[in-house]
Structure formats: C-alpha cells, structure tokens
C-alpha cells in the first residue's frame, strides 16, 4: 500500500494567527492565501504489516523523534478512518529550506494527507482532505486547493467547517510573488507557541480577531476584481497587523532580521517610484514581494541588490495538491 503526492506551499495574503482550539488545531480567524508554483513537498508513503514503527525520512535524513511523533499522531487520524493500525515509512522532500518561514509544514502536511489517504484507499472529498490537513498544520489546509484560496475559521466544535477552498483557480490572474531568502536557519519560535503566547498575553488579541472579517471580505473582492493595488495594500496591512500582534506579546516575538527590515523599506521606495510592489512576511525572516509580471525583473533586481539576500525565488499562482504515483 503505497502512494506519492506533491503539494505546493502557500503564502497567506490575509494572515492567520491564533487558535480557537489547540487540540483540533482550529483557527481563531479565517485567512486567504496564494498557492505557490515554485515551492513544494513530495511525500512518498508505504504502509506495511512488516513495519514495527512509523519511520520518517525528511530530505534524506532520519527525522528527529519530535518530528516523527508529530507525523505518527497525524497518521493515526487517517489510520482510524481506514480501520487499520499498519505502520508506515514516509519519505518527504522539500525543494526549499525547511522551517525558515517558508511554510514547509503547509506543503508537508498537505502532501502527507493526500499520499496517506490514497495509500490507505480512503476516498475523501477535497473538503475532507483539507479538514484532515488542518490537523497537521493550520496552513496545510490551504495547500490542498490551488490558486487563490480561502480558509474558514468555522464555528463547530468538531472542526468540520474549518477547511479551505478555492476563491479562484491559478489561471484567474497572473500575479507574482518573489521570495527573498535572508536566512536558511530554522525559526526560533514556532507558530503554535507564538500564537499561544499572543492569545494569552497580547492586549491587542481581541482587536485582531474583530478586524479580520472586514479584511477577508475586502481581499476576496480584490481577487475577484483583479485589483492588484487593493490586493497589495491589504496584504501588507494584514502582515504588519499580524507582526504587531506578535511584537505585542509578552515576551515580544520578533521574526524579522535586519535584512528583512531593509527589504521592507526598499519595497516601499520602489512603490514611491511608481512600481506597484507590496511585501508580506510570515513567522520567519524571509521577505515576500507581490508584483505584476511586467515588474518582476525590476523587483528581482531590487531584492538582489540588498546585501544579505541570498537568493530570490519567483512564484506564480500554483496548482493544488495531487497524486504522482499510487499502487492500485
Ligand atoms: O499553520 P501554521 O502553523 O503554518 O501557521 C501559519 C502562520 C503564518 O504563516 C504566520 C500565517 C499564515 O496564515 O500562514
């Protein structure tokens, strides 16, 4: 029983930060993301009665007991659905640095969900796959669909309405997202710990929750209208609000390095010069710049000229998660 799947990473344009239930990994707010063409995880899984324990190989190396444990607990959800306790060997490869704010957990858990469901012969809808992926990592629910995606916070206690679905397919709108890599190091505080700290200590937490609905509505419309300026403004605004929440936690959480800040200023300078370019940043130091195809080269040159940017990765709207191989 084996299968291999590929899922692309995604970047939130309207950010998710905060959980309404930690056990089921239910988000406190909805979010909107762009699936990325150039960053993906490929995961191959084999279940067999010959295996005594789950074994996880990440980028050709045996994963840590923590990573293996997290993956095993996640696979238990699928094993329960399939009525089996077979153990698995999982081989997962990212084509980008892991855990540096490039959402490897998003593509990782989405690829794992799809591969494991197929290997166990579970026939699940895209919605059910997204609900499952969410339990591995909140942003993973958004890597099941492709293109422009909305994740619902939902209201039910069991999480059955907390899933992601497409707003528009990749072909709807050719925009670009350039990632400037400022560091290859793993982030210092993970998103779950960061979100918990914000929820329990930030005086702005409730205000953040209350404002999210308006941002989601405006972003949905900007995407449908192909209004780039609006999409960019809303993305930068949501990003800075999320980081303000992280910074206002106690102790404050600072994901940026000096190069990140230089790049934020450079993006705004470019904009003052007439080029529509907007930044967004996740729980890590990488800078991500949204622009139109005709401005991609100018934005790339600007990023490459900033000392400390090691590499620039260009993305278009990318496809949803898919099966690459499966035995029948
Ligand atoms: O679901 P996680 O644990 O990957 O957390 C995502 C947090 C942010 O990337 C900062 C925001 C987002 O919506 O992706």
List average pLDDT for each run of 10 residues in the chain, which is 328 residues long. 97 98 96 97 97 96 94 98 98 75 81 98 97 96 98 97 98 97 80 96 98 98 98 98 98 96 98 98 95 98 96 96 92
Distance 16 CA to ligand 1 centre (A): 6
Q: Using one digit for the tens of pLDDT, what is the confidence trace for 2-48?
A: 999 999 999 999 999 999 999 999 999 999 999 999 999 999 999 99
- State both tokens at 62: 């045996």
- Among 220, 244, 297, smallest CA distance to 33 is for 220
Per-residue DSSP letter, 294:
G
- Could you give phi then psi for residue 239, rounded to 5 degrees? -60, -50
Task: Enumerate the β-bridge partners of residue 35.
Answer: 10
Instruction: Please report the pLDDT score of residue 99 as a whole number.
Output: 44
Query: Is there an atom of ligand 1 within 6 Å of 139 CB?
Result: yes
3-state class (DSSP) for residue 84: coil
Residue 100 near ligand 1, beta carbon < 6 Å? no
Q: Does residue 119 have its Cβ closer than 6 Å to ligand 1?
A: no
Closest CA to 271 of 304, 244, 302: 302
Q: Give the separation between CA 295 and CA 202, rounded to whole angstroms.
A: 38
Instruction: Determine the residue of 282, 286, 287, 288 to mutate for testing ligand 1's pocket, defined as the one with the most ligand atoms within 8 A of the Cβ atom.
Output: 282
Please report the pLDDT score of residue 84 as a whole number.
98
> What is the helix (H) or strand (E) element at residue 8, kind and residue range?
strand 2-14
Q: Which of 144, 191, 287 to mutate to test the pocket of ligand 1 (most atoms within 8 A of CB)?
A: 191
The pTM of this model reads: 0.96
- Strand 87-94 with 55-58, pairing: parallel
Kindly report, residue by residue over 59-103, the tens digit of the pLDDT: 999 999 999 999 999 999 999 999 999 999 999 999 876 545 465
Nearest atom in ligand 1 to the alpha carbon of residue 103 is: 4
Report the chain's terminal Cα–Cα distance, integer Å.
8
In short, whether 283's Cβ falls inside 6 Å of ligand 1 is yes
* Dihedral angle, C-alpha 55, 58, 61, 65, nearest 10 °: -50
Distance 27 CA to ligand 1 centre (A): 10
Q: Of all atoms in ligand 1, which is nearest to the CA of residue 11?
A: 14
Alpha helices in 61-164 (DSSP H): 65-82, 104-119, 126-136
How high is the pLDDT of residue 185? 73
What is the structure's pLDDT at 102? 64
Q: Identify the helix (H) or strand (E) that includes residue 221.
A: helix 205-225
Best of 18, 103, 242 to mutate for ligand 1, by most ligand atoms within 8 A of CB?
A: 103
For residue 105 and ligand 1, the question of a CB distance below 6 A is answered with yes
Q: How far is the CA of 86 from the centre of ligand 1 (A)?
A: 31
The verdict on whether omega for the bond into residue 308 sits within 30 degrees of 0, i.e. cis, is no
Q: Whose CA is nearest to atom 6 of ligand 1?
A: 139
- Among the atoms of ligand 1, which is closest to the Cα of residue 31? 13
Contacts of 266 (CB under 8 A, 6+ apart): 302, 303, 306
Q: What are 277's two structure tokens?
A: 């370019």
Angle among Cα 90, 162, 191 to the nearest 5 degrees reads: 60
């Amino acid at each position: 029983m084996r299968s291999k799947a590929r899922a692309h990473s995604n970047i939130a344009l309207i950010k998710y930060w905060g959980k309404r239930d930690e056990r089921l990994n239910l988000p406190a707010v909805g979010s909107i993301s762009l699936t990325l063409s150039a960053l993906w995880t490929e995961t191959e899984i084999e279940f067999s009665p010959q295996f005594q324990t789950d074994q996880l190989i990440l980028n050709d190396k045996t994963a840590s007991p923590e990573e293996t444990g997290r993956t095993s607990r996640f696979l238990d959800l699928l094993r329960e659905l399939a009525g089996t306790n077979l153990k698995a060997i999982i081989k997962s490869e990212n084509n980008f640095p892991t855990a540096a704010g490039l959402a490897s957990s998003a593509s990782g858990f989405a690829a794992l969900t799809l591969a494991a469901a197929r290997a166990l012969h579970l026939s699940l809808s895209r919605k059910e796959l997204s609900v499952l992926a969410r339990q591995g990592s909140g942003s993973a629910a958004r890597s099941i669909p492709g293109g422009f995606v909305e994740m619902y916070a939902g209201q039910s206690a069991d999480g059955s309405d907390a899933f992601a679905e497409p707003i528009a397919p990749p072909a709807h709108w050719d925009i670009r997202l350039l990632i400037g890599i400022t560091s290859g190091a793993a982030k210092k505080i993970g998103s779950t710990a960061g979100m918990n700290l914000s929820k329990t200590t930030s005086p702005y937490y409730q205000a953040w929750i209350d404002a999210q609905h308006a941002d989601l509505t405006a972003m949905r419309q900007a995407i449908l209208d192909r209004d780039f300026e609006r999409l960019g403004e809303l993305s930068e605004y949501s990003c800075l609000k999320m980081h303000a929440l992280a910074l206002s936690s106690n102790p404050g959480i600072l994901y940026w390095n000096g190069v990140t800040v230089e790049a934020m200023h450079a993006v705004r300078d470019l904009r003052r010069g007439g080029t529509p370019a907007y930044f967004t940043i996740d729980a890590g130091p990488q800078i991500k710049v949204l622009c139109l195809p005709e401005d991609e080269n100018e934005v790339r040159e600007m990023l490459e000229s900033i000392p400390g940017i090691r590499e620039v990765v260009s993305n278009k709207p990318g496809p949803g998660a898919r099966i690459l191989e499966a035995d029948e």
